[in-house]
């Protein structure tokens, strides 16, 4: 372990924090579900600390000092690590001694024109190292953390690049940033980040303790039922939407499609459209002739929704193209499912 620590130390603070974060994740399966039953045996953190504590080398003291920071969900183990570090006389690198003084100075949210995701950037100072931590929140599925890690540019450069590309940029209150990230972390069902990100969730949870509490969580558009009702009423009373009858069945179908994605009835990306059609399936609750009309319904609804929200026509065209690409396979799948469940209607036409 001493050799490994010496090698990682040459790569800077975050490299060692991430390496120790992997140990914390493996030892905290109830929090970090990346290590699930059958993938890896849980690590006994108490035994790890016992084993590290018997070695006097400074590298082991460094391990204990880093674990003392990252074990935010294990206060008893945290205290053991801190006591052991205090009892040792080994000289620690300055940045390790300064870990408790790590600060997050700024939080910025880079949005997506169609609401698919938000990227939260944290400007972090660890000792004399400035780092930009990025947390991606995907709203098309569960508004969960879909990726996280350090980016190789300053937060100012990242913000300037986003503005140059026309992305919405919002300076966030630090407490709100913490609330958003904690909310998105709790929404994770199956972690989707790559193996290269292992250890970063533990680092992120530690960094969040450097932010103030009491912030406002993100409010999903799907919670604004009144706004959705206004949009649906405008659509189904329009000449284009009035042809979808019976209205109650089509409105229910459209509501299911909207709720299954970002929850925003007014903004539709290519990815959201494809995912919406992929996740619709035959059910006895649906009339099959209504369900197979889902692509046609979206093809008429999306231009009206985008006109109401001022979305550029080129983005609308991309969404409509995605519908056209997905429609044949969608229709074939739904009809096959209906036949399997006893719908004997002749769908050849």
**pLDDT 10s digits, 94-123:** 889 999 999 999 999 999 999 999 999 999
Q: What number of other Cβ atoms are within 10 A of residue 255's Cβ?
A: 16
Q: Is the pLDDT of residue 89 over 80?
A: no
More reliable by pLDDT, 11 or 257:
257
The whole-number pLDDT of residue 35 equals 47
| Residues in a beta bridge with 132 | 123, 151
Helix axes 270-279, 313-340, angle to 10 degrees: 10
Q: How would residue 285 be classed by pLDDT, with cut points 50, 70 and 90? A: low
Q: What is the pLDDT of residues 255-271, one digit of tens each?
A: 999 988 899 999 999 99
For tokens 């540019």, what's the residue?
153
Sign, CA dihedral 59-65-70-73, equals positive
Q: Which residue blocks in the chain are alpha helix, DSSP H?
A: 2-9, 13-27, 45-53, 58-70, 75-87, 94-97, 155-164, 174-186, 200-208, 225-236, 247-259, 270-279, 288-291, 294-309, 313-340
Beta strands across the sheet bearing 129-138 = 144-151, 129-138, 117-126, 103-110, 169-172
Report domain extents, the chain.
2-99, 102-208, 221-340
φ/ψ region of 199 (left if φ > 0, alpha if ψ in -120 to 50, else beta) reads left
Distance CA 53, CA 303 (A): 64
Poorest-pLDDT segment among 112-121, 203-212, 227-236, 336-345: 336-345
The two structure tokens encoding residue 340: 């399997």
Q: How would residue 135 be classed by pLDDT, with cut points 50, 70 and 90? A: very high
Read off the pLDDT of each residue in 305-334 and give the average, rounded to a whole number.
Answer: 95
Distance CA 299, CA 246 (A): 18
Q: How would residue 149 be classed by pLDDT, with cut points 50, 70 and 90? A: very high
φ/ψ region of 133 (left if φ > 0, alpha if ψ in -120 to 50, else beta) reads beta
The whole-number pLDDT of residue 11 equals 83
């Amino acid at each position: 372990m001493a050799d490994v620590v010496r090698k990682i130390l040459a790569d800077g603070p975050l490299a060692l924090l991430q390496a120790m974060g992997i140990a914390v994740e493996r030892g905290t399966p109830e929090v970090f579900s990346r290590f699930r039953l059958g993938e890896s045996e849980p690590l006994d953190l108490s035994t790890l600390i016992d084993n590290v504590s018997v070695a006097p080398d400074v590298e082991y003291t460094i391990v204990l000092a880093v674990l003392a920071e990252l074990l935010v969900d294990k206060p008893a183990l945290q205290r053991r690590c801190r006591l052991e570090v205090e009892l040792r006389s080994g000289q620690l690198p300055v940045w390790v001694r300064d870990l408790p003084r790590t600060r997050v100075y700024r939080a910025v949210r880079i949005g997506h024109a169609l609401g698919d995701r938000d990227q939260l950037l944290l400007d972090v100072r660890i000792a004399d190292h400035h780092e930009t931590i990025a947390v991606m929140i995907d709203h098309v599925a569960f508004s969960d953390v879909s990726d996280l890690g350090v980016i190789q540019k300053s937060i100012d450069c990242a913000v300037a690049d986003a503005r140059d590309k026309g992305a919405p940029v919002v300076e966030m209150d630090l407490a709100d940033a913490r609330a958003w990230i904690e909310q998105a972390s709790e929404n994770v069902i199956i972690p989707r980040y790559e193996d290269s990100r292992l250890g970063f969730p533990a680092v992120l949870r530690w960094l969040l303790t450097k932010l103030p509490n009491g912030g406002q969580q993100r409010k999903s558009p799907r919670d604004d039922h009144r706004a959705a009702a206004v949009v649906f009423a405008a659509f189904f009373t329009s000449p284009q939407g009035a042809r979808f009858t019976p209205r109650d069945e089509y409105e229910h179908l459209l509501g299911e499609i909207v709720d299954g994605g970002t929850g925003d009835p007014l903004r539709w990306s290519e990815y959201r459209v494809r995912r919406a059609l992929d996740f619709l399936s035959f059910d006895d609750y649906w009339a099959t002739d209504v369900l197979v009309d889902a692509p046609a319904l979206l093809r008429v609804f999306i231009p009206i929704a985008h006109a109401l929200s001022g979305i550029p026509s080129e983005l609308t065209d991309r969404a409509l193209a995605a519908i056209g690409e997905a429609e044949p396979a969608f229709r074939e799948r739904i009809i096959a499912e209906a036949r399997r469940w006893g719908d004997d209607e002749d769908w050849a036409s």
